Amino acid sequence: MPRYTPEHRFQARLPASRCRPNQRPTRFLLNDFNNSSTIRKRTMRDIEGKVAFITGAASGMGLGMTKAFTRAGMKVMMADIDATRLQAAAADLKAKGADVDTLRCDITIEDSVFAAAAATVKRFGTVNVLCNNAGVSVGGLSEELSQKDWDWVVAVNQTAIVYAMRAFLPLMKANGESGHVMSTASMAGLVNAGAGWGAYNASKHAAVAMMEVLYSELKDTPIGVSVLCPGAVNTNILEAATHRPDHFGKSDDRPIALNPLGETLQQGLDPDVVGELVLDAIRENQFYIFTDPRMERQIERLFDRIKLGFAWARKNEHLIAANQAELVWKAK
């Protein structure tokens, strides 16, 4: 079965029957990278001894990834803002023979991320896998959240990925080895998570988009790309505000979004299982990593709504075509 790549999301043709005279059918796709040679080139089958850098590694999915990676023989630099929990998690892993080290890192600060990249190379000699996993959320209606609420969520869920790509990708390319970049988004990065999730939803959509673009940018390299879009997972994301940096102010979560979620997360997937899924996706160069097949229906509903938008556009195609013809005439 062909693998689903981000380019498929944008594949569409305007049928010849709907084209204006002398207009060729248009395919809205820059490149098709879904071929076996590209997949083979970007697949990390041999991961033993490879080095990974994981944010949010003290607990939840980041810790689950660390466990899965080290069981497979990888070395891991564990990064987190919660130094106490980070040290405890690392001590437990080291007692089981894992080759890990720790680094307190505030991923909302550019210098902190670049320092983490340098420290990883100094400790392990290289870096092959980058996992942008840390994430936060603040609940409340879009107009009720403070600017600092928005800034914090965007800084952790989106801007931190930018810092990490700039800090780690040059190092990963320079070592000439196979590698992989994985960013944790959410199903909320693809569909509407509902009222009170504006900041989280927007930042996770950005994470998905950045990984789709990165997939294209790295097509001629041995570095694969994945984006993790989990459903409910039993993590402590609702405790993230405990370690919210002072320069982002204090959180004032509104109950509209967060209270019902706590119970849902407690019944969610074991983060250790997510770690194994991520490891498997890296080995197979699987772009979208989903954890709940039942969520497929939500994606189908999304595309149903998108198709309604195109149906509306076709209803007004005479206006669109007339305007395009006028623009062509003016260009002459």
Show Cβ contacts of residue 319 under 8 Å, excluding neighbours closer than 6 positions.
Answer: none
Count of alpha carbons within 13 Å of 208, Cβ hemisphere only?
A: 23
How much of the chain is in helix, strand and coil states, percent to nearest 5? 55, 10, 35
Give phi and psi for 319, each to the nearest 5.
-70, -40
The letter for the amino acid at 76 is: V
Catalytic residue set: 200
Tokens of 78: 């564990």
Instruction: Of 285, 282, 288, 289, give the one whose Cα is nearest residue 40.
Output: 285
Which residues lie across from 226 on neighbouring strands?
182
Non-local (6+) Cβ contacts of 91 within 8 A are none
